[in-house]
Amino acid sequence: MTGSDSLIDHGGDGPPILLLHGLMGRGRTWVRQIPWLRERGHVFTVDAAWHTGPIAPGTTIGPADTATERFVADTVDVLERIGDGPAVLIGHSMGGLHAWCTAAARPDLVSALVVEDMAPDFRGQTTRNWTPWFQTWPDRFTSVTHAQSMFGDVAGRYFYEAFDDGRLHGDLDVFTVIADEWGRRDYWAQWEAVAVPTLLLEAEFTVTPPGQMAEMARRNPHARHVVAPGAGHLIHDDAPAFFRDAVEEFLGERSAPEAEQSVVGDLDETVDE
């Protein structure tokens, strides 16, 4: 892992659950979900590479350092260190991509997936139009209210919780490079290789290309697609009750010994529609 080892054990009984944050997020942005997830398993969070604080001066960052494969390798390392059997991966946005790519690469380490508002193909899109907006950010946000005045109530709280004393927990240029890769390649092959039960949660006001998350369910018989009405990209914070109900129902099905056949049947019906 780049920077300090940020894997945090939040406790809980049962199989491991690893929470993977989105671009510009951080492990601690899952703070409101951790208490109820502990009732379903042993919960861990981790900060992705380049999301642990300021980058040391003189650090050289090459393409391999920000590639999806690097984040997958980091996730594999975390899962191997956690041990205790295959884990449920719950990933928001970038974290969802890393979750399913990890499940494709190392199916022995993953028992189930929750993918929140992420799709496999953003080719042709770019983050470069974000640059002028980034340049308007202050060096430091003085309070959560200050951040909310710029980003809105939900996103402002999310960003401020990721920041270090109001300061960005990484480098905007590096975050941009990470996202730019998604505009040059697709991840359909990795998605179609996933062989574990998957809950696809799409925001009504999604950032994903229209129809792609539904197409993900059609292409993979292990997946169920659900839309969160009225929610924006941060479903877990924008529609927390909906998110909790959907995830708890999904995890409850996974824990029931007789659930395997019934879940597959339900998913087959979804694909046929």
DSSP codes, 6-55? --EEEE-SSSEEEEE--TT--GGGGTTTHHHHTTTSEEEEEPPTT-SSPP
Q: Is the pLDDT of residue 263 over 90?
A: no
**Residue 4 — very low, low, confident or very high, per pLDDT cuts 50/70/90?**
very low
What is the Cα–Cα distance from 133 to 153, expressed in whole angstroms? Answer: 18
**Strands 42-46, 87-92: pairing kind:** unpaired
Q: What mean pLDDT, rounded, does the chain reach? A: 91
pLDDT at 181: 96
What is the Cα–Cα distance from 149 to 147, expressed in whole angstroms? Answer: 5
Domains identified in the chain and CATH numbers: 3-254 (3.40.50.1820)
HSE, side-chain direction, 13 A CA sphere, residue 264: 5
72-94 mean pLDDT: 96
**Residue 262 — very low, low, confident or very high, per pLDDT cuts 50/70/90?**
very low
What is the Cα–Cα distance from 1 to 60, expressed in whole angstroms? Answer: 15
pLDDT at 255: 62
**Residue 227 — very low, low, confident or very high, per pLDDT cuts 50/70/90?**
very high
What is the Cα–Cα distance from 250 to 257, expressed in whole angstroms? Answer: 13
212-227 mean pLDDT: 98
In sign, the C-alpha dihedral spanning 189, 212, 201, 261 is negative
Q: Is the pLDDT of residue 189 over 90?
A: yes
Find the angle CA(8)-CA(244)-CA(100) to the nearest 5 degrees: 60
b/e burial code for range 84-118 (CB count within 10 A of at least 16 → b): eebbbbbbbbbbbbbbbbbbbbbeebbbbbbbbbb
Q: Is the pLDDT of residue 92 over 70?
A: yes
- From the list 136, 67, 75, 131, the residue with the least C-alpha distance to 102 is 75
Q: What is the pLDDT of residues 36-46, one digit of tens each?
A: 999 999 999 99
Q: Which amino acid is at 34?
A: I
- From the list 118, 135, 147, the residue with the least C-alpha distance to 176 is 135
Lowest-confidence range among 43-47, 58-62, 251-255? 251-255
Q: What backbone phi and psi angles, to 5 degrees, belong to 16?
A: -65, 145
**Residue 220 — very low, low, confident or very high, per pLDDT cuts 50/70/90?**
very high
225-254 mean pLDDT: 96
pLDDT at 138: 95
Lowest-confidence range among 15-19, 88-92, 171-175? 171-175
214-242 mean pLDDT: 98
Q: Which one is predicted more confidently, 18 or 253?
A: 18
What is the Cα–Cα distance from 187 to 206, expressed in whole angstroms? Answer: 18
211-218 mean pLDDT: 98
